[in-house]
Amino acid sequence: MTQDLGKRKNLGRGLSALFGEQEPDAPVAVAPAVPVVAAAVAGSPITRLALDLLMPSALQPRRHFDETALEELSASIAEKGVLQPLLVRPDPNAPGRYEIIAGERRWRASQRANVHEVPVHVTNLSDAEVLEVALIENLQRQDLTPVEEARGYKRLVEDFGHTQERVAEVVAKSRAHVANSMRLLTLPVAVLNLIDSGQMSMGQARPLIGLSDSEKLAKLIVKRGLSARQAERLAKGFGRKRRLTLVAKDTDTAALEQSLEKATGYKVNIAFDGKAGSVTVSYTNLEQLDDIVRRLSGGGRAAKLADDDTDETDLQQAS
């Protein structure tokens, strides 16, 4: 186990050095995960190119760049310059121009700092090599959103034939993390957009995987600002409520619902799956909620209501 962890750390350090994440004077370790790139860099002297000759790669998996981090990097570049060279290749579609393989963030920050040229290594990598390097670089540096990360893992598996175990080794993550990330991609696009925009975390979204109403629940989680734990409880309760309502009500249950509705003045739903059940009281405004809480508190149930964090209320509104 110790040797395996050491191997993972070495992979990370190798790519960090290769892509400019170490200090300038730090010794450069070659990452065995990308020997073709290490060889290309070793045989390529550092040169300088004008910013307008460089362009982002269409194979770059990252689409979101943190504005605060860019401003900080821009200030550093304005003061000290670009300390680490970018990795580029001749643009196959535009002679005389170059495609950025690694270092797009430095390129963007240099534009803001009004720097006109930057140091680069010019390589001749294939499309497949460019994509693999870009994915590994971003995944190891944790610059991706959870959705970008999941798509990166998927492409490493599907386009390059990596197993999940190999992907986990390369990016220094657990296999379970890789598998759980890839499962996010089974969620609806609307939910993925909430994750991609930072409105939902991976922990909040994971419990929604496999639920038919995941989009509706995701919007409720965001609206109420629920924590990952609360989102998990909501998702579990929602699934339980759906299972309970599968059993048709008999006439006695329907009559009991009507009796409770007449006594309380609120819509009441009784669900039973043959083993356990639930009673749901619906409300339409906060005044009605206060009235329900007051009635139940009078029966000694106030502590139970507080502990439940209004889970059944959330479920009713999501239905």
DSSP result, 298-318:
HTT-HHHHHHHTTHHHHHHHH
Does residue 147 sit in the same domain as residue 260? no
Does residue 59 sit in the same domain as residue 161? yes
pLDDT of residue 40: 58
Domain boundary among 132, 162, 177: 177
Residue 103 resides in a domain: yes
Residue 72 resides in a domain: yes
Asked whether the beta carbons of 86 and 106 are under 8 A apart, the reply is yes
Q: What are phi and psi of 272, to 5 degrees?
A: -150, 130
The string of pLDDT tens digits covering residues 112-148 is 999 889 999 898 887 777 777 777 777 766 667 889 8
pTM: 0.56
Q: What are phi and psi of 49, to 5 degrees?
A: -130, 145
Residue 58 resides in a domain: yes
Asked whether the beta carbons of 121 and 129 are under 8 A apart, the reply is no
Alpha helices in 19-81 (DSSP H): 35-42, 67-80
pLDDT of residue 246: 47
State how many domains the chain has. 2
Residues spanned by the domain of 273: 243-318
Asked whether the beta carbons of 47 and 117 are under 8 A apart, the reply is no
What is each CA distance from 59 to 29, 37, 135, in whole angstroms? 25, 16, 9
Percentage of residues in the chain having pLDDT higher than 70: 73
Does residue 172 sit in the same domain as residue 261? no
Highest mean pLDDT among 66-70, 168-172, 229-233 belongs to: 229-233
Residue 194 resides in a domain: no
Least reliable range by pLDDT among 31-35, 99-103, 108-112, 194-198: 31-35
Does residue 26 sit in the same domain as residue 170? yes
Does residue 6 sit in the same domain as residue 137? yes
For 160-276, where are the E strands, in sequence order? 268-272
Does residue 263 sit in the same domain as residue 164? no
The string of pLDDT tens digits covering residues 77-103 is 998 888 888 889 998 888 889 999 888
Q: What is the CATH number of the domain that holds 37?
A: 3.90.1530.10
Does residue 121 sit in the same domain as residue 9? yes
Asked if residue 188 has pLDDT above 50, the reply is yes
Domain boundary among 132, 159, 177: 177
Does residue 162 sit in the same domain as residue 299? no
pLDDT of residue 300: 44
Task: Tell which wins on pLDDT, 7 or 195.
Answer: 195
Mean pLDDT of the 295-316 span = 54
> What's the rounded Cα separation, in Å, for the pair 172 and 130?
20
Give the tokens for residue 128: 């497949």
Report the DSSP beta bridge partners of residue 56: 100
Residue 212 resides in a domain: no
Asked whether the beta carbons of 315 and 280 are under 8 A apart, the reply is yes
- What positions carry a catalytic annotation? 104
Write down the residue that tokens 């003045």 correspond to: 265
Does residue 153 sit in the same domain as residue 298? no
Asked if residue 256 has pLDDT above 60, the reply is yes
- Which residue from 89, 162, 98, 96 is spatially nearest to 127, judged by alpha carbons? 89
The string of pLDDT tens digits covering residues 149-176 is 888 888 888 887 888 998 888 777 889 9
Residue 284 resides in a domain: yes
Does residue 258 sit in the same domain as residue 149? no
SS3 call for 28: coil
